[in-house]
Amino acid sequence: MEAKQWTVQIYITEEGDDTHARAVLSTQDTSIVTGRGTARRNPIDRPIPEIGDELAASRALEDLAIRLHDVASDDIVALAGHVVP
């Protein structure tokens, strides 16, 4: 059985109280799916950048999961009625 490896890279940027994350999934067949997430610090909260990073990254991964599910659903619909050897 062949093992497959998919890679997710998360890119995080901060602009003032806003943190933006982009989660990029790359597969062996060069498919790429991207999810995005943001977090905004409440001005009355202490500035702890790690929390914004965690929230934005988790939201980007959640968005990525939804988009990957949509890709799989589209593939199923495209193959509906076709016999796969």
Render pLDDT for 9-58 as a digit per residue (tens, 0 to 9).
Answer: 999 999 999 999 999 999 888 789 999 999 999 989 998 999 999 999 99
Task: Grade residue 84 by pLDDT with cuts at 50, 70 and 90.
Answer: low
Determine contact, residues 53/19, Cβ cutoff 8 Å: yes
pLDDT score recorded for residue 83: 59
pLDDT score recorded for residue 81: 66
Place of tokens 């890679």: 7
**Counting every residue, how long is the chain?**
85
Q: Does the pLDDT at position 80 exceed 70?
A: yes
The model's pTM: 0.86
In sequence order, the β-bridge partners of residue 25 are 8, 33
pLDDT score recorded for residue 30: 72
